Amino acid sequence: MPTPPIQSETTATQARYAAVAVPVPLRQVFDFIIPAHVALDDEALVGRRVLVPFGPRKLVGIITQCNDSTNVSAGRLKPIIELLDDEAIFDATLWQTLAWVSRYYIAPIGEVFEMALPTLLRKANGPAPSTTKHWILTEEGRVKPIEELDRAPVQLAIIKKLIRSLALSADDFAEMNSGWRSAIKALTEKGWVQEENVEPRLTTNDQAQLVKQSGFELNQQQQAAATHLVSRVQAKTFSVSLLLGVTGSGKTEVYFAAIQASLEANTQALVLVPEIGLTPQLLERFQARFSVPIAVMHSNLSDKERHLAWWHTKTGEARIIIGTRSAVLSSIPELGLIVVDEEHDTSFKQQDGVRYHARDTAIYRAKLAQVPIVLGSATPALESYYNALHGRYTLLELPNRASAALLPNVQLVDLEQQAAAEGLSPALSAQLREALESSEQSMLFINRRGFAPAMYCTDCKSTLRCHRCDAHLTVHRSHNRLRCHHCGYDTRIPQACPGCQSKELKDLGEGTQRVETTVQALLPSATILRIDRDSTRNKGQLEAHLDEVKSGHADVVVGTQLLTKGHDFDHLSLVGVLDADQGLYSSDFRSTENLFQQLVQVAGRAGRRDKQGRVLVQTRFTDHPLFEFVVTQDYQGFANAELEMRQQLGLPPFGYLAMFRAESTHDARAMQFLRALKTQLPVFDGVRVMDAVAAPMAKRAGRYRAQLLIQAQSRGALHTCLMSFIERLERHEGMRKLAGSVRWSLDVDPQDLY
């Protein structure tokens, strides 16, 4: 429990000082006085949360060091208000990992620490979750004949519920008669029921097994990969393994073997997934297999739920932790294994605040903890594949699907030869009809939500654009709205063109809503299900939609990239990709890699059981080299060709990048700041600083944006250069003034150049 608020003052002779990291965007810690009555030695204080005064506010910070002296004048020092923890809030390995995140991504340590804490612990709350009120049957309540309650139906219902469940909380009575509280009170007064406060606990599936499911046998490739990983877990040594397995090759079963070894070694296993949508599906499989407490961490949890998962992980009760990006920053005192599923996914990179990469952070944490880590994907990031080719990682391959299923048959549909009507080519329309007649599921993938990506005037040829962004407004016909998907601006669809007043306004292109309407007209008897950010906005909707697909209730699924990430649909035999040309000619050097990964992943959803799946990819550029690799699903061929190109250009993994970004409401200030920043930088060998340029979307949410790219031949040279930038920025008065007039950020190892 937190200690009482500190009341006493310290004297000069007694003074000790604590360096405290507070959650502010400053790359420093701040000294505070440790009150005299705090008798703990310095080492015991480090790592604990404290409440401190910071200007007019009170902030929760973390002690990083204790000293007998300080460089701050006595008049400016203030005492710590309250010591919040009985022990360090982070385990030793996590503490070192967070320090590395701060150094590597050049981020304020206070912001890094804050990011690793659940929201409730960023306030002055104790680390343990609050207890909840439960009701249980007393001995008298167990033996009393329930017929005595025939005239009190609510009391009778409660007793019957308690007989089945042993203990119940207020949440368990939510659907009962509104008078349940008075009924509970009456039962308590009779002595049938008693109230108790209990700490929430994780549930387990007692019917699950800790061993391989009966009748399931790993194939030869799976067994070889599993044997290697199990040996690494048992040896308790650091290693990085890249599990390169085609879609449907059974990578999860290999993970299970390694996790089983971790549990048998009495250690905890951390499993990272890129998207919330994968978590319920994976959790269901884990709960069916393992009879241990499992904690789940993702952004859709409430603050209370996230705190509870964090606590059970920190105390060691949770033996398996499944989570998205931020789960890698949880306290896991008995860590024995880390799994990063779909390791190529860009969702593992934080795009605001502290811009860390969860995969790379997980590798560093595994190294500190001396535990193995496995990275799994059908289309690994080129950096990971390169490391495996050069012996830094162990390459484990699963070249075949786990069952008798074959890889899908991928065909290109030339849109120059077959004109698409409302997004569907004649070939794809015919395949959709055939699949429906055969009672098979189909999936249509288009990575644009809304009805149409733009609206234009046929008279003046202008498109309707967002006044706050350099972007078209997206048409949402179901609500008669135009919306900006970048800043959220929303307005009614106008009756006439704002420029020339013509009423000849047309929708341009297709989004998921338009495709849904088109398919419903093409297949009127079919059940169509759309899965995108709009249809899954509310909590639980994505899980419900995915359950509909898995159960076979949906005949055709229309969706965005939410559908590409590792889902396993038994009845799906046909996949259509409606606009495969997005990203082919982007200015971002990773766009080809991202497009290849996306196409192979979505193709891999088809035919994962007995019948070979079919994939139709619509494109106007059938002769583009990328599509040859997609048709043959040849990851190695694609990767080798792409790596050769990157080597010639000195791009990752043959070079290292960082991006300074700036934005301002003034149209020239962001560019002015970055240009001035470049002039302050001395020349470094092996480092190339590009000119400041406008961002590809130069205006967003009413702010003008610019960026400055830095390219280096070595990681060390890049960080030397970046630290020089930061030091000059913080010390140079003119630069500080310029920096104060803009929002700026630094992105080390950027995953996109937008």
* 639 — pLDDT class (breaks 50, 70, 90): very high
Contact (Cβ atoms closer than 8 angstroms) between residue 234 and residue 337:
no
What number of other Cβ atoms are within 10 A of residue 668's Cβ? Answer: 11
Band (213; pLDDT cuts 50, 70, 90): very low
Q: Is 215 within a domain?
A: no
- The total of structural domains in the chain comes to 5
Q: pLDDT confidence of 110, banded at 50, 70, 90? A: very high
Give mean pLDDT, residues 186-198. Answer: 83
Residues 570 and 628 in one domain: yes
User: What average pLDDT does this structure show over 434-450?
Assistant: 90
Q: What is the mean pLDDT of residues 190-209?
A: 71
pLDDT of residue 7: 40
Residues 138 and 117 in one domain: no
- pLDDT value for 517: 92
pLDDT, average across residues 289-304: 88
Domain boundary among 645, 670, 696: 645
Cα 309 to Cα 297: distance, rounded to the nearest angstrom: 7
**Does 681 or 47 have the greater pLDDT score?**
47
Q: Nearest to residue 578, comparing CAs of 425, 699, 446, 462?
A: 446
Q: Which two tokens stand for residue 417?
A: 């030869």
Q: At what angle do helices 625-632 and 635-649 cross, to 10 degrees?
A: 150
Q: CA nearest 343: which of 374, 300, 292, 377?
A: 377
Count CB-CB contacts under 10 A for residue 418: 15
Does 474 fall in a domain? no
Half-sphere exposure of 401 (CA within 13 A, CB side): 20
Closest C-alpha to 395, from 384, 411, 410, 382: 384
Residue 201 has pLDDT above 90, yes or no: no
Same domain, residue pair 341 and 437 = no
CATH number of the structural domain spanning residue 448:
3.40.50.300
Tokens representing 711 are 């390219």
| Same domain as 570, residue 435 | yes
pLDDT of 1 strictly over 50: no
Please report whether residue 500 resides in a domain: no
pLDDT at position 2: 44
Does 247 score more than 60 pLDDT?
yes
pLDDT of residue 542: 77
602 located within any domain: yes
494 belongs to a structural domain: no
CA distance linking residue 721 with residue 106, whole number of Å: 12
Model confidence at 633, pLDDT cuts 50, 70, 90, reads very high
Q: What is the pLDDT of residue 402?
A: 79
Q: Same structural domain for residues 139 and 59?
A: no
Residues 666 and 693 grouped into a single domain: yes
| Domain housing 84 | 16-122
**Region of poorest pLDDT, from 196-200, 457-461, 742-746:** 196-200
**501: Cβ contacts below 8 Å, ≥ 6 apart:** none
Residue 9's pLDDT is 41
- pLDDT higher than threshold 50 for residue 212: no
Going by pLDDT thresholds of 50, 70 and 90, the confidence category of residue 586 is confident
**Total Cβ atoms within 10 A of residue 487:** 17
Tell me which residue of 670, 453, 402, 697 sits closest to 560, measured CA to CA.
453
Instruction: Pick the last residue of a domain from 122, 143, 171.
Output: 122
**Same domain, yes or no: 228 and 313:** yes
Shared domain check, 571 and 626: yes
The residue that leads in pLDDT, 583 or 592, is 592
> Is residue 544 located within the same domain as residue 680?
no
Q: Which two tokens stand for residue 412?
A: 């290109």
Tell which of 166, 198, 230 closes a domain: 198
What confidence score (pLDDT) does residue 8 get? 37
- Domain holding 695: CATH number? 3.30.70.390
Q: Output the average pLDDT for the chain.
A: 88
- The mean pLDDT value for 263-273 works out to 96
Mean predicted confidence (pLDDT) in 428-446: 92
**pLDDT-derived band of residue 738, with 50, 70 and 90 as boundaries?**
confident
**Which has the closest alpha carbon to 93: 369, 372, 373, 370?**
369
pTM score: 0.88
pLDDT of residue 683: 80
Query: In this predicted structure, which of 110-124, 153-167, 506-520 has the lowest mean pLDDT?
Result: 153-167
Tell me, yes or no, whether 107 lies in a domain: yes
- Examine residue 653 and say whether the peptide bond preceding it is cis (omega within 30 degrees of 0): yes
For residues 652 and 382, give the distance between their C-alpha atoms in angstroms, rounded to a whole number.
8
Of these ranges, 143-157, 345-359, 740-754, the one predicted with the greatest mean pLDDT is: 345-359
71, 111: one domain: yes
Hey, is 418 helix, strand or coil?
coil
Query: Apex CA 25: angle with CA 21 and CA 31, to 5°?
Result: 30
For 70-84, write each residue's pLDDT tens digit. Answer: 888 877 899 999 999
Provide the percentage of residues in the chain whose pLDDT is more than 70.
Answer: 94
**Same structural domain, 239 and 375:** yes
pLDDT band at 147 (very low <50, low <70, confident <90, very high): confident
Who wins on pLDDT, 174 or 714? 714
Give the tens place of pLDDT for each residue, 4-29. 444 434 344 457 899 999 999 988 99
For 197-201, 380-384, 586-590, 743-747, which range has the lowest pLDDT when averaged over its residues? 197-201
Kindly state whether residue 490 falls inside one of the protein's structural domains.
no
Shared-domain flag, residues 110 and 241: no
Q: Is the predicted pLDDT of residue 194 greater than 90, yes or no? A: no
- Residue 133, burial from CB neighbour count under 10 angstroms (0-12, 13-18, 19+): exposed
Please check whether residue 57 lies inside any domain of the structure: yes
What are the two backbone dihedrals, phi and then psi, of residue 17, each rounded to the nearest 5 degrees? -125, 140
The per-residue pLDDT for 40 is 78
> Which pLDDT tens digit goes with each residue over 216-238?
689 999 999 999 999 999 999 99
Taking residues 609-614, what's their average pLDDT? Answer: 80
CATH number of the domain within which 152 lies = 1.10.10
The reported pLDDT for the residue numbered 13 is: 47
Q: Given a cut of 50, is residue 548 above it in pLDDT?
A: yes
